[in-house]
Structure 1
Amino acid sequence: MTASPRPRRRADAERSIARIVAAARERLGTDPNATTDDIAKAAGVGRMTLYGHFRTRADLVDAALRGAVEDGDRTLAAVDLAGDAYEAMRRLLVSSWALVAESAALLTAAQGVLPAGRVRELHEGPAARVGELVRRGRDQGVFRTDMPTAWLVGVVQHILHGAAEEVRAGRLEMAPGELSDMVTKSVLAVLAAPPAPGPSPAETPPGRAV
Structure 2
Amino acid sequence: MPPTTGPRRRADAERSIARIIAAARKSLSVNPDASIDDIAKAAAVGRMTLYGHFPNRAELVDAALTDALRSGDETLADVDLNGNARDALTQLLDSSWSLVAESTALLIAAQATLPEERIRELHTGHAVRVEGLIRRGQREGVFRTDLPITWLVNLVHYILNGAAAEVRAGRMPADDAAHIVTTTVQSTLAPPRDHPER
TM-score scaled by structure 2?
0.95
1:119 counterpart = 2:119: yes
Runs of 4+ in 1 over 3 A off after TM superposition: none
Aligned to 1:191, which of 184, 189, 192? 189
Is 2:100–2:161's contact at 8 Å kept on the other side of the alignment? yes
Tell me which residue corresponds to 2:67.
67
1-structure distance, mates of 2:85, 2:99: 21
Tell me which residue corresponds to 1:201.
none
Tell me which residue corresponds to 2:147.
147
Number of equivalent positions: 194
> Which structure has the highest helix share of the two?
2
**SS in structure 2 at match of 1:195:** helix
1-structure distance, mates of 2:111, 2:4: 42
Structure 2 vs 1, CA of residues 47 and 29 (structure 1 numbering), >3 Å: closer, same or farther? same
Structure 2 vs 1, CA of residues 136 and 25 (structure 1 numbering), >3 Å: closer, same or farther? same
Structure 2 vs 1, CA of residues 175 and 63 (structure 1 numbering), >3 Å: closer, same or farther? closer
Tell me which residue corresponds to 1:87.
87
Unaligned runs of 5+ in 2: none
1-structure distance, mates of 2:3, 2:27: 39
TM-score scaled by structure 1?
0.89
CA deviation string 1:14-45 (max 9, x = no partner):
00000000000000001000001000000000
CA RMSD of aligned residues (A): 1.6
Shift of 1:170: 2.3
Which protein shows a greater Rg?
1
Question: Which residue identity does 1:79 align to in structure 2?
Answer: V
Structure 2 vs 1, CA of residues 120 and 196 (structure 1 numbering), >3 Å: closer, same or farther? closer
Give % identity: 61
